[in-house]
Amino acid sequence: MALHPKLTDITQRIVERSRPRRADYLERMARAAEDGPKRAHLSCSGQAHAYAGAGEDQDALANGRAPNLGIVTAYNDMLSAHQPFKDFPDLIKATARAEGATAQVAGGVPAMCDGVTQGAMGMELSLFSRDVIALAAGVALSHNTFDAALYLGVCDKIVPGLVMAAATFGHIPAVFVPAGPMTTGISNDEKAKVRQKFATGEVGRAELLASEMAAYHGPGTCTFYGTANSNQMLMEFMGLHLPGASFVNPGTPLRDALTGEATRRALAITALDNEFTPASQVLDERAFVNALVGLMATGGSTNLVMHMVAMARAAGIELALEDFADVSAITPLMARVYPNGLADVNHFHAAGGLGYLIGDLLAEGLLHPDTRTVAGTGLAAYAREPKLDGARVRWEPGPRESLNDRIVRPVADPFQKTGGLVQLTGNLGEGVIKVSAVAPERHVIEAPARVFHDQDSVQAAFRSGDLASDVVVVVRFQGPKSNGMPELHALTPTLSVLQDRGFKVALVTDGRMSGASGKVPAAIHISPEAMDGGPIARIRDGDMIRLDADAGTLNVLAEDFDSRAPATADLSANRTGLGRELFEVFRQNVGPARDGAAVVV
């Protein structure tokens, strides 16, 4: 089927908007590719330093002409999603060696967990960690001795940061290697109910901890469809993973075989072979439009709205909120995965998963079919699924029908006709709302404002009964310049309780919400932020606020609103503690949320 005409128009608009920046980027990548890796041109001392720790690979590195792969890893053994990466470098090195090539761990990048830091001080470093990851990966690859890079990362800020680095080093190929989700524990719905009972005092901390431990119980990514698993989806839609690699559980023969195949494929697409595929050719405008379609079709995390903008800027491409909204308007919601449904990502994968979605979207003209990918030219390769064939992988056609229509549906019979991400504009500036998990009767909320400057104050007001009415909770001074734009997911159980008690409830914030949040209407990423004197800083308690997700509007219904002076806040407490003092330069130089809330791009 021909490409959807509106998708063509959106892509062309992005191309035109990006033309100067993209042209400069491609020129830089072409110059770097012409120069090639400098491994053979290092001084003798430089080569000795680079190969001294390579053990049995020293001779091949010093005297051979085969490719050398750089491994950039987010491994740590505190976080379940990244713990499986411990053994990946040895597997990659052994595979490369068997192919007559070499691989080295170029460097590590930090990987923090938003699940650990929710509602805590460390969350104020979370968003900035994305740019730190990009910087750390840049340092790892700065030795200029690698013909391709393998990026080992999964979670919220890690993959976007690594993509920013891959784009910056776009003159060499980039293959992203996932670890997969943990096996299914207790249902996410059951876990959410225990959290709400804890918020109301019906159960104690012992019961809460037991529930959480039963949900997050082993190695791998959390199984709900939050930012981490949205990242994995993006990597397939953009052609940076091998087909079907995202949701294979860690510690399985297929997982290890896919890692070996990723290594072989990285070797095959270097400039030393016949299928040279630098990352700059994969990361083009069409790939990002395909990623937008994937985000909408699956009901993915709102965090990706900012991350994709920053990732695209690193590749010389300018995305705008209108691109997200316009793609959402033509993309049906094809998946129901928690928090948008009861299924987890393992259930989603078993029901047909990404291979089914990509195949059906291609058939309906809702994806660019001709993109460059690490698997070759054409996204049709990603409608296949991997199967074990001895110790190797073969790819077979994926399912062409949903195996569970409560989890996955075709374009012709979706859960919703649109993707559920809406751009909001009005006298409060601009922001976004995700409505794929919000009941239709809650798409329009008009209620008086209660204004807070931190999450703790919201929780205190709830405990004292001060929020027992229709309310729009405004949490401001949560933007990137204020305190690093922490997620406000800790508010979800509280606001959900109010909503379940029959009140009209919404959240308005210049901060973020987690990819795990959903059923409470939340107008987020409001720009300009309060720290910049944005309109959100002029809201007062009692102001009537109208959030209309159907019309895409967000307004304060007060005649004197535009003439008010903006409020200020004492943010000195955000400046120190748990390393926050090290990030003052980030807070001073970060861009607005609508531009990706980035420092380095």
Q: How far apart, in whole angstroms, are the C-alpha atoms of residue 556 and residue 559?
A: 9
Q: How far apart, in whole angstroms, are the C-alpha atoms of residue 126 and residue 112?
A: 7
> Is 281:372 a contact under the CB 8 Å cutoff?
yes
235 vs 160, 342, 380, 446, CA distance in Å?
Answer: 10, 24, 15, 38
Place of tokens 């923090």: 112
**Burial of residue 312 (number of CB atoms within 10 Å: 0-12, 13-18, 19+):** buried
Q: How far apart, in whole angstroms, are the C-alpha atoms of residue 406 and residue 90?
A: 40
- Map residue 164 onto helix, strand or coil: helix
Was 44 annotated as part of a binding site? no
For the chain, the residue count is: 601
Was 222 annotated as part of a binding site? yes
| Residue 2 backbone dihedrals phi, psi, to 5 degrees | -65, 155
3-state secondary structure 29-63: HHHHHHHCCCHHHCCHHHHHHHHCCCHHHHHHHHH
The type of residue at 551 is A
429: left (phi over 0), alpha (psi -120 to 50) or beta: left
Longest Cα separation, the chain: 76
- Nearest Cα neighbor of 144 from 119, 177, 172 is 172
Tokens found for residue 82 = 């990244």
> Is 437:519 a contact under the CB 8 Å cutoff?
yes
- Nearest Cα neighbor of 507 from 565, 436, 458, 468 is 458
Name the binding residues.
155, 222
Name the binding residues for [4Fe-4S] cluster.
155, 222
